[in-house]
């Protein structure tokens, strides 16, 4: 499920890294690693993870639509919000074609304008439909964040391909650390540098990535 | 016609940087408009939104019907290995402008190895140009060999860049095993009507 060649559009998102590089704020391996750590700890663990959890245990599409609304209002930067929706819709499209259980009802609600298909909600729905346990779902989702950043960093020439693999290995400890912690009662995110970068990306010249 | 499938047909336009893909799109838009084809365009600009902005400002099409999809520095991936973001954009356009007959997908400038996945498009054309070198067909790149339509653009430049156009066409036809080759000059529109005829007959089924 976490295979980077699974066709769900993840390669087109940098989640702020493209602008951080263009601005000279992230320019080497230690910068990329710090970026990945902050994304894991202060966005994925505190916001994506609770939504993932609630999506995987939701009783119906109405509840999923409610989660989508929460993600929508919590996500300030436009390209983060749209990126989350586009990535979620792409994952759902692929699993719609594969007839993964639970996906078609959610996609119908989206087609009717009643749900948004944000990424953590979509991941919860899809991977639960694939029969995965919640701890597996969380591990794959956290890994997807780290792997996505590593790949974007390679394409931005911030890391060599081997360096990217070694960074992913180093990040395993961080992933493990957040996975054993209890998720917060109420979702929140605090990655101001990345969010400002994503806002600046909207009108910047650097446009290899969608955010 | 009864065999016309539901939903908009999707047609890809690929080819190397500078071969004239955007110029071709600018030439086909008014021709499709005149024949009543309801159209939208997706561009996969590689580095900027320049191609999308150029089409939006062209006055040829409602700017809302032109959408840019970022390729994450992977122009091949977004049209072949993982076309989901383009499929998503096509679906969004169809929802917004229903009914649409045709969605054109312009690839970011690429190289001779680029091909479109048939999960993304129903039909695709590959644009090369005489100034890129008369030997391109001989190199037998997958784009030249596999595209439904091969377009040799900038025919007017042949004498200026030392290319034997007749030989280039003959070699293109030879390596393509009978699949069509069309010669154009997208600055003047020469040859573009033939492209419209092919798309109308083979994709839109409404000649």
Does A206 map to a domain?
no
Domain count of the fold of chain A: 1
Query: Nearest CA of chain A to the CA of B45: how many Å?
Result: 8
Cα–Cα distance, A38 to B139 (Å, whole number)? 48
| Residue A208 located in a structural domain | no
Instruction: List, in order of start, the domains of chain B with CATH numbers.
Output: 9-201 (3.40.50.300)
Total beta-carbon pairs less than 8 A apart between chain A and chain B: 64
Residue A99 lies in a domain: yes
Inside any domain, residue A90:
yes
CB contact under 8 A, B72 and A90: no
**For residue A204, what pLDDT is reported?**
82
Structural domain boundaries enclosing A175: 10-201
Return d(Cα A42, Cα A19) in angstroms, integer: 19
Are A184 and A178 contacting, i.e. CB atoms less than 8 angstroms apart? no
Are A124 and A56 a contacting pair, CB within 8 Å? yes
Give chain A's length.
211
| CATH at A136 | 1.10.4190.10
Residue B51 has what pLDDT? 82
**How confident is the prediction along chain A (211 residues), in pLDDT tens digits per residue?**
777 778 888 888 999 999 999 999 999 999 999 999 999 999 999 999 999 999 999 999 999 999 999 999 999 999 999 999 999 999 999 999 999 999 999 999 999 999 999 999 999 999 999 999 999 999 999 999 999 999 999 999 999 999 999 999 999 999 999 999 998 989 999 999 999 999 999 988 778 899 9
In a domain, A5, yes or no: no
Low pLDDT (below 70) residues in chain B: 1-5, 207
Distance from CA of A18 to the nearest CA of B (A): 10
Q: What confidence score (pLDDT) does residue B5 get?
A: 60
A152 in contact with B at a CB cutoff of 8 Å? yes
Task: Determine the Cα–Cα distance for residues B38 and B70; give it in Å rounded to an integer.
Answer: 24
Lay out the sheet containing B181-183: strands in order across.
B66-68, B39-43, B102-106, B9-14, B123-129, B149-153, B181-183
Check CB contact of A96 with chain B, cutoff 8 Å: no
Record the pTM. 0.90
Report yes or no on A209 lying in a domain.
no
Cβ contact A155–B74 (<8 Å): yes
B83 interfaces chain A, CB cutoff of 8 Å: yes
Burial A75-85 (b: 16+ CB within 10 A, else e): bebebbbebbb
Q: Is A86 on the interface with B (CB under 8 A)?
A: yes
Residue A128 falls within a domain, yes or no?
Answer: yes
Who among B48, B81, B82 is closest to A207 (CB)? B48
H-assigned helices in chain A: 17-22, 29-39, 49-56, 61-74, 78-97, 103-111, 119-129, 134-155, 161-180, 192-201
Contact state of A86 with B85 under an 8 Å Cβ cutoff: yes
A82 lies in some domain: yes
Residue with tokens 């799109």: B25
Q: What is the distance between the terminal CA atoms of chain A, rounded to a whole angstrom? A: 23
């Amino acid at each position: 499920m976490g295979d980077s060649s699974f066709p769900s559009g993840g390669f087109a998102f940098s989640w702020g890294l493209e602008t951080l590089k263009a601005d000279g704020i992230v320019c080497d391996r230690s910068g990329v690693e710090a970026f990945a750590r902050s994304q894991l700890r202060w966005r994925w663990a505190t916001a994506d993870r609770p939504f993932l959890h609630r999506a995987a245990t939701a009783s119906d599409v109405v509840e999923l639509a409610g989660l989508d609304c929460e993600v929508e209002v919590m996500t300030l930067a436009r390209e983060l919000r749209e990126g989350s929706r586009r990535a979620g819709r792409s994952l759902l499209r692929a699993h719609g074609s594969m007839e993964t259980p639970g996906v078609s009802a959610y996609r119908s609600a989206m087609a009717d304008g009643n749900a948004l298909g944000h990424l953590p909600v979509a991941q919860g729905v899809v991977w639960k439909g694939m029969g995965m346990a919640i701890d597996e779902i969380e591990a794959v989702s956290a890994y997807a964040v780290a792997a996505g950043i590593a790949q974007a960093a390679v394409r931005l020439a911030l890391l060599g391909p081997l360096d990217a693999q070694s960074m992913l290995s180093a990040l395993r400890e961080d992933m493990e650390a957040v996975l054993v912690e209890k998720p917060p009662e109420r979702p929140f995110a605090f990655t101001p540098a990345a969010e400002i970068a994503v806002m600046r990306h909207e009108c910047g010249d650097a446009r290899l990535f969608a955010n | 016609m009864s065999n016309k499938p539901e939903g908009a047909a999707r047609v890809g336009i690929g080819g190397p940087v500078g071969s004239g893909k955007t110029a071709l799109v600018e030439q086909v838009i008014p021709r499709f408009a005149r024949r009543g084809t309801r159209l939208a365009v997706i561009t996969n600009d590689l580095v900027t939104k320049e191609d999308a902005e150029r089409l939006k400002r062209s006055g040829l099409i409602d700017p809302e019907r032109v959408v840019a999809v970022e390729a994450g520095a992977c122009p091949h991936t977004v049209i072949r290995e993982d076309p989901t973001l383009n499929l998503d954009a096509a679906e969004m356009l169809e929802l917004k402008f229903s009914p649409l007959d045709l969605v054109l997908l312009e690839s970011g400038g690429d190289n001779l190895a680029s091909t479109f996945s048939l999960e993304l498009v129903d039909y695709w054309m590959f644009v090369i140009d005489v100034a890129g070198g008369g030997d391109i067909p001989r190199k037998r790149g997958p784009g030249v060999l596999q595209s439904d339509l091969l377009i040799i653009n900038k025919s007017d430049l042949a004498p200026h860049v030392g290319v034997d156009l007749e030989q280039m066409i003959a070699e293109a036809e030879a390596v393509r095993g009978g699949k069509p080759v069309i010669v154009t000059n997208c600055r003047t529109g020469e040859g573009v009507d033939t492209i419209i005829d092919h798309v109308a007959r083979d994709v839109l089924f409404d000649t």
